[in-house]
Amino acid sequence: MTVPVLEAENVVKELGKGAGKVIALKGVNLELVKGELTLLMGPSGSGKTTLLSILGCILTPTSGIVRVEGEETTDKTPEELAELRRKHIGFIFQSYNLFPTLSALENVRIALDVIGRKGYEAAKRAEEVLHDVGLGKRLKNYPSNLSGGEQQRVAVARAIAASPSVVLADEPTAALDSENGHAVMALLGRIAKEQNRSVLAVTHDPRTLGYADRVVRIEDGLIVGEERRPKGLDAPEIADLTKRRKVNG
């Protein structure tokens, strides 16, 4: 039996109070396992981002249970939740969230500084993951000297630098053109498989479907469907796409 690395059990989230109260999540159940790329899809206002924030221990549920590597988050303090995030969860954002005054290498190193890895060890690890995402020749470049696709790959490298169990991505291809969008999704698929991580991407982008192992659909705060996807791209094609991006990068 596959043990979930991250799970939500009957999660409810209320936002606001009184007449303005909105029930953003209405009893969500979801399990994520290592080695899979899962897409969370739904219309605007369906609860996707709220659920992602709860799974990432940024928001706490009004009721229900979240477990990270089997550890319940219910009674944890904000400091304990922050430690859980640092230990187990990597984040990728639509707008990259890179520091403009830091190089690609420094942007990745800062994620390692947060967990206490510094000096030569941190620099070596940061360089290693940037090579992994095809940016071995861009280590010293600042975000302003990188394309949108390259900036997102720096963000991916930062998310995996500390070897988290789970990578959570919020609309990772929304700001990218077709070629870069495909390259980033191929990269996320490769991270899930080759590094045995669970990757969950919130997305509206139909280009992402061919890379998913599973698609979970959410509407009005409820999971309304789930499907296993046949691979739109087989492994050699995904590897080739990523390789081409490495050569170009």
Q: Tell me how far apart the 2 most distant CA atoms of the chain are, in Å.
A: 56
- 124 found inside a domain: yes
Domain that holds residue 93: 34-58+77-248
| CATH code at position 45 | 3.40.50.300
Matching residue, tokens 């990597």: 90
- 72 found inside a domain: no
Which residues have a Cβ under 8 Å from the Cβ of 243 and sit 6 or more positions away? none
- What is the Cα–Cα distance from 197 to 6, expressed in whole angstroms? 11
pLDDT 10s digits, 179-230: 899 999 999 999 999 999 999 999 988 889 999 999 999 999 999 999 987 7
What are the backbone angles phi and psi of residue 222, rounded to the nearest 5°?
Answer: -130, 145
Q: Could you tell me which of 97, 127, 248 has the C-alpha nearest to residue 183? A: 248
- 196 found inside a domain: yes
pLDDT 10s digits, 39-73: 999 998 999 999 999 999 999 999 999 999 999 99
- 84 found inside a domain: yes
- What is the Cα–Cα distance from 188 to 190, expressed in whole angstroms? 5
Q: What percent of the chain has pLDDT over 90?
A: 75
Rounded average pLDDT over 77-98: 92
- 39 found inside a domain: yes
pLDDT 10s digits, 216-249: 999 999 999 999 877 544 433 433 433 444 434 4
Confidence at residue 1, expressed as pLDDT on a 0 to 100 scale: 62
- For the chain, the domain total comes to 1
- 68 found inside a domain: no
